Amino acid sequence: GENVEQHPSTLSVQEGDSAVIKCTYSDSASNYFPWYKQELGKRPQLIIDIRSNVGEKKDQRIAVTLNKTAKHFSLHITETQPEDSAVYFCAASSSGGYQKVTFGTGTKLQVIP
Amino acid sequence: GAVVSQHPSRVICKSGTSVKIECRSLDFQATTMFWYRQFPKQSLMLMATSNEGSKATYEQGVEKDKFLINHASLTLSTLTVTSAHPEDSSFYICSATEQGSAKNIQYFGAGTRLSVL
């Protein structure tokens, strides 16, 4: 089955700096890679996703890159703000009827004002 | 956006009782729903995949007789924790994918915090 590893487990940055979270996956059949943000005690919310036919995707301060050859994908947050503080999960999935998603172990991001 | 409602948000029960958790897709039909368990400061661990009109598919190590899943309609899946014990205390969260959607976007419920005394 799929195995998703995520690093770092915790990340502290000063407000305004950039934050980068990296993930690797094992199943070459995976072709959909969402990122979720979970604030304390709340449900995970999809913040950005990328498919394997795209190498990079950007949405305002958030960008995701994908290296399918190396089975790496990363989340980049620029100009971080205190409200970006949360736990971020990467995930990997293959298309098809089953649609099972495997989550990474999470990164707790703290943005220091 | 798609909304998934999960109820109850919090349950406190005595050891040995059964607890039912409901997961509803409010504005879309969900052929598939997923049930996760999340321990404090840990990731979401998939317990089972709930398919409308058929038996759920359980992940390795998850007891199907302990965690009963029913997906009787395209908008409702239930998870029943039978004969709950303190070690079953956890945060249970469901998600649903929209029927016919090309993307595998999972919309999450708000979760249920189960405390077994």
The answer, for B103 touching chain A at a CB cutoff of 8 Å, is yes
Contacts of A45 in chain B (CB under 8 A): 108
Which residues 4-23 on chain A approach chain B with CB closer than 8 angstroms?
none
Is the model's pLDDT at A34 over the cut of 70? Answer: yes
B5 touches chain A (CB under 8 A): no
Q: Which pLDDT score is estimated for B103?
A: 67
Query: How many angstroms away from the CA of B25 is the closest CA of chain A?
Result: 15
Cα distance between residue B114 and residue B85, in whole Å: 10
Minimum-distance CB partner of B43 among A32, A42, A105: A105
pLDDT mean over A50-60 = 89
Say if CB B48 and CB B62 are below 8 A apart.
yes
Contacts 24+ apart (CB under 8 A), B80-84: B80/B18, B80/B19, B80/B20, B80/B21, B81/B18, B81/B19, B81/B21, B81/B114, B82/B18, B83/B16, B83/B17, B83/B18, B84/B13, B84/B15, B84/B16, B84/B17, B84/B18, B84/B19, B84/B114, B84/B116
pLDDT in tens, A39-53: 988 899 999 999 877
A44 part of contact set with chain B, CB < 8 Å: yes
Question: Mean pLDDT for each 10-residue chunk of chain B (117 residues)?
Answer: 91 96 92 90 89 88 94 92 95 88 81 96
Count interface pairs A-B at CB distance under 8 A. 50
Q: At which residue do the structure tokens 């979970």 appear?
A: A38
pLDDT at position A52, please? 79
- Res A97: pLDDT: 47
- B64, β-bridge pairs: none
The mean pLDDT of chain A is 92
Q: How confident is the model at residue A1 (pLDDT cuts 50, 70, 90)?
A: confident
A99-112 confidence digits (pLDDT tens): 778 899 999 999 99
pLDDT of residue A112: 96
